[in-house]
């Protein structure tokens, strides 16, 4: 796979918040997903995670603090940091994270 149309790939997903794995870069997995207005429960990861908003807006909450991430912005979530998606997030999101076994 060489060129991926991220917007089309996200739009073709069967439902919001279900990601499609695009590939592997070293130990990191690259995924794309479509956000909707609904919140997502808090989570933590054992490694850093990169969240890149392509279009729309990610209404993130990191360690209890609201963090809006706009189109064209990248947020790096440090390993072990609790984060969740607040209501109102919409658009296309790329996630880069280590593969969890």
Q: What is the pTM of this model?
A: 0.91
- Cα Rg, the chain, nearest whole Å: 13
pLDDT > 70 in the chain, percent: 97
Backbone angles phi, psi at 11, to 5 degrees: -65, -30
All structural domains of the chain: 6-98 (2.60.120.10)
* 100 pLDDT tier (thresholds 50, 70, 90): low
CB atoms under 10 Å from CB of 58, counted, come to 23
pLDDT at 34: 95
Residues 33-71 pLDDT 10s: 999 999 999 999 999 999 999 999 999 999 999 999 999
- What does the longest C-alpha to C-alpha distance in the chain come to? 39
Alpha helices in 1-91 (DSSP H): 6-11
CB 82, CB 44: distance < 8 Å: yes
CB 10, CB 90: distance < 8 Å: no
């Amino acid at each position: 796979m060489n060129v991926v149309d991220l917007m089309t790939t996200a739009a073709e997903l069967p439902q919001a918040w279900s990601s499609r794995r695009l590939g592997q870069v070293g130990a990191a997995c690259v995924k794309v997903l479509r956000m909707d207005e609904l919140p997502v429960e808090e989570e933590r990861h054992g490694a850093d995670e990169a969240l890149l908003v392509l279009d729309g807006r990610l209404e993130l909450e990191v360690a209890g603090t609201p963090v809006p991430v706009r189109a064209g912005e990248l947020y790096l979530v440090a390993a072990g940091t609790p984060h969740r998606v607040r209501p109102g997030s919409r658009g296309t999101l790329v996630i880069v994270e280590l593969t969890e076994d």
